[in-house]
């Protein structure tokens, strides 16, 4: 028997990178565009500013490529050794022609296959599960997962309920076989499609193909029923995280960091409270970037990578349209 083949392969994050555009859209800027104010935005969301990719000729692929190149340069990765690239996004460059394929070609990953993954704000969390599974299988050794969204391309800047929340950005992580005993430990993923109309872009798909009516009605912009989404997000993110801790016999005191999707500071605070985590264990950058959808979790990792120590216990949690949500448990390997 080949013991090397039967030995369980554990997936680990071995490199991270990120990118946000230079242009800042502050709360004061939004005050000039819609009926809102800085105090209200900060108290309800925790957001002070967000980044916007202004150039109309640059799309989500630009953000993804920049994040990937940052990872490659920082960790001295040979792009030709990457086996697979997954881009989690709800704002692909085009409905047909995978953004990930263009990203792969643009960074010189000519040995990789590539595809997009769509699960709204849970996209990166789901992508982590997928990437870890590819590594666990033993079939691939380097999986580059990128979360990237140009949310400004789908936000209606006359709608004060959504335009205050979202920003543009991208983050990337590399999954490889763990060099030690640390890495991907467990996950708890869920979905429920009965509330899909509560957080949606109504038109542009097969249900409501693009027409003059869909354009006139603004059905190509992001819409959300704020109270419904908030209620579900608070309960489900916290529940998923709590279930994951119970399943792994962990207490809040044993967790080093909560790495949550940056949807809303109040949602993150509620999740942390449910887990019994102190403030210093809860990672947040929502005040500077807003909600960058699939990019929030990898941007958090990139901003905090110098603080992580080998063996740190990290809990990831997210909630997004669909509805989709879940939590995962990873021990830091580098």
Instruction: Work out the average pLDDT over 184-202.
Output: 96
Percent of the chain at pLDDT above 90? 96
E strand segments, 151-277: 168-177, 184-191, 199-200, 223-224, 257-260
SS3 66: helix
Whichever domain contains 295, its CATH number is 3.40.47.10
What are the tens digits of pLDDT across the range 205-261? 999 999 999 999 999 999 999 889 999 999 999 999 999 999 999 999 999 999 999
pLDDT at 7: 66
CB 91 within 8 A of CB 153: yes
In what helix (H) or strand (E) does residue 11 lie, and over which residues does it extend?
strand 11-19
What are the tens digits of pLDDT across the range 149-170? 999 999 999 999 999 999 999 9
**Mean pLDDT over each residue of the chain, to the nearest integer:** 96
pLDDT at 5: 44
User: What number of CA atoms fall less than 13 Å from residue 210's CA on the CB side?
Assistant: 4
pLDDT at 273: 93
Clarify whether residues 202 and 306 are in a common domain: yes
Cβ-count burial 153-182 (b if 16+ within 10 Å, e if not): bbbeeeebebbbbbbbbbbbbbbbbbeeeb
The packing angle between helices 265-275 and 226-247, to 10°, is 30
Catalytic residue positions, numbered: 121, 261, 291
The packing angle between helices 99-106 and 60-75, to 10°, is 40
For 241, the domain range is 184-331
pLDDT at 226: 86
What are the tens digits of pLDDT across the range 119-140? 999 999 999 999 999 999 999 9
Among candidate residues 155, 177, 199, the one where a domain is terminated: 177
Asked whether the predicted pLDDT for residue 195 surpasses 50, the reply is: yes
CA angle 273, 274, 279 (to 5 degrees): 25
Bridge pairing between strands 184-191 and 324-331: antiparallel
The alpha-carbon radius of gyration of the chain (Å, integer) is 19
* Contacts (Cβ under 8 Å, ≥6 apart) of 83: 111, 112, 113, 134, 140, 141, 142, 143
Clarify whether residues 191 and 160 are in a common domain: no
Clarify whether residues 167 and 309 are in a common domain: no
CB atoms within 10 A of CB 137: 10
Beta bridge partner(s), residue 325:
190, 319
pLDDT at 4: 47
Clarify whether residues 82 and 221 are in a common domain: no
If you write DSSP's letter for every residue of 140-164 in order, what string do you get? -S-EEEEEEEEGGGT--TT-HHHHT
Q: What is the domain count for the chain?
A: 2
Residue 8: pLDDT band (50, 70, 90) is confident
Task: Return d(Cα 149, Cα 63) in angstroms, integer.
Answer: 8
Task: Return d(Cα 10, Cα 21) in angstroms, integer.
Answer: 34
Instruction: Work out the average pLDDT over 75-103.
Output: 98
What are the tens digits of pLDDT across the range 290-308? 999 999 999 999 999 999 9
Asked whether the predicted pLDDT for residue 269 surpasses 50, the reply is: yes
Instruction: Work out the average pLDDT over 165-191.
Output: 98
Clarify whether residues 106 and 145 are in a common domain: yes
Instruction: Give the global pTM.
Output: 0.96
Clarify whether residues 273 and 297 are in a common domain: yes
Clarify whether residues 86 and 165 are in a common domain: yes
Q: Taking every pair of C-alpha atoms in the chain, what is the biggest distance, in angstroms?
A: 70
CB 86 within 8 A of CB 143: yes
Among candidate residues 115, 144, 177, the one where a domain is terminated: 177
Clarify whether residues 130 and 194 are in a common domain: no
* Contacts (Cβ under 8 Å, ≥6 apart) of 113: 83, 84, 85, 104
Among candidate residues 177, 200, 226, the one where a domain is terminated: 177
Task: Return d(Cα 109, Cα 4) in angstroms, integer.
Answer: 28
CB 84 within 8 A of CB 172: no
What are the tens digits of pLDDT across the range 216-226? 999 999 999 98
Clarify whether residues 125 and 271 are in a common domain: no
More confident residue, 7 or 33: 33
Asked whether the predicted pLDDT for residue 75 surpasses 90, the reply is: yes
Clarify whether residues 172 and 198 are in a common domain: no
């Amino acid at each position: 028997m080949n013991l090397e083949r039967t030995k369980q392969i554990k997936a680990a994050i071995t490199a991270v990178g990120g990118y946000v555009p230079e242009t800042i859209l502050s709360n004061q800027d939004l005050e000039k565009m819609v009926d809102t104010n800085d105090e209200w935005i900060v108290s309800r969301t925790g957001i002070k500013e967000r980044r916007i990719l202004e150039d109309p000729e640059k799309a989500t692929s630009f953000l993804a490529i920049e994040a990937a190149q940052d990872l490659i340069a920082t960790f001295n990765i040979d792009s030709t050794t990457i086996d697979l690239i997954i881009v989690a996004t709800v704002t692909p460059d085009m409905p047909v022609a995978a953004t990930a394929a263009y990203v792969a070609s643009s960074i010189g990953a000519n040995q990789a296959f590539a595809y997009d993954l769509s699960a709204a704000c849970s996209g990166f969390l789901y992508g982590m599960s997928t990437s870890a599974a590819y590594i666990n299988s033993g079939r691939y050794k380097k999986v580059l997962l990128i979360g990237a969204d140009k949310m400004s391309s789908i936000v209606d800047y006359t709608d004060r309920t959504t335009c205050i929340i979202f920003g543009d950005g991208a983050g990337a992580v590399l999954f490889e076989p763990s060099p030690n005993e640390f890495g991907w430990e467990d996950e708890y993923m869920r979905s429920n499609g009965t509330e899909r109309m509560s957080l949606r872009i109504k038109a542009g798909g097969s249900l409501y193909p693009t027409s003059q009516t869909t354009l006139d009605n603004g059905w190509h912009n992001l819409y959300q029923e704020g109270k419904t989404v908030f209620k579900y997000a608070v309960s489900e993110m916290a529940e998923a995280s709590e279930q994951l801790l119970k399943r792994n016999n962990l207490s809040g005191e044993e967790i080093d960091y909560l790495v949550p999707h940056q949807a809303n500071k109040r949602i993150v605070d509620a999740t942390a409270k449910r887990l019994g985590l102190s403030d210093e264990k809860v990672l947040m950058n929502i005040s500077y970037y807003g909600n960058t959808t699939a990019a929030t979790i990898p941007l958090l990792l990139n901003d905090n990578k110098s603080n992580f120590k080998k063996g740190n216990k990290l809990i990831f949690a997210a909630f997004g349209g669909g509805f989709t949500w879940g939590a995962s448990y990873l021990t830091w390997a580098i």
